[in-house]
Amino acid sequence: MPRRAPRALRVAVPARQSDGAVSTLLISACPGPSACGAVHTYLFVDGLEVVARSDNRMAGLAPGQLLRPGGPLYPTDTPRHVEVAAQQQPEPGPDRLTVRIQLRGGTVIWSDLMYPGPDGRVVEEVRFSLEQYVGEIERAYAVSEGC
């Protein structure tokens, strides 16, 4: 499903209200050539794979690119847009999936999201505990180094 313009999606599905709940991040990686020809990062937020739910033409970028120490997924006080996926189907293309990431106190905030949550409502923003978030990035990077 191609990613629709935010306005079009909001008309179809009521926007989810930010309730300040803390989400959980889990990161996994496709093992590479034997499975799909390349290594991709999978970003699970509260059990939902963000890239596939946002736009199924996309595949997560390589773990070494996203998860390296001090890399793009590490939060900073200054908000920034981070590419997390690139178009792979029907063939590699120019489209990218971006997430706005910022650190506010002990909370990491991802915004500018646009994917259906488990209840069908649009998820526009998620918040993570800084400790869980950074710990998961470090864990996933260490595991991906062995691949």
Residue closest to 114 by CA, chosen among 25, 21, 1, 26: 1
What residue ranges do the domains of the chain occupy? 6-145
Q: What is the pTM of this model?
A: 0.78
> Would you say 62 and 40 are in contact if contact means Cβ atoms under 8 Å apart?
yes
Residue closest to 110 by CA, chosen among 47, 41, 23: 23
- In tens digits, the chain (147 residues) has pLDDT values of 333 333 333 333 333 334 567 888 888 875 555 445 567 889 999 999 999 999 988 989 988 899 999 999 999 999 999 999 998 888 877 889 999 999 999 999 999 999 999 898 999 999 999 999 999 999 999 888 765
Q: What is the pLDDT of residues 94-113, one digit of tens each?
A: 889 999 999 999 999 999 99
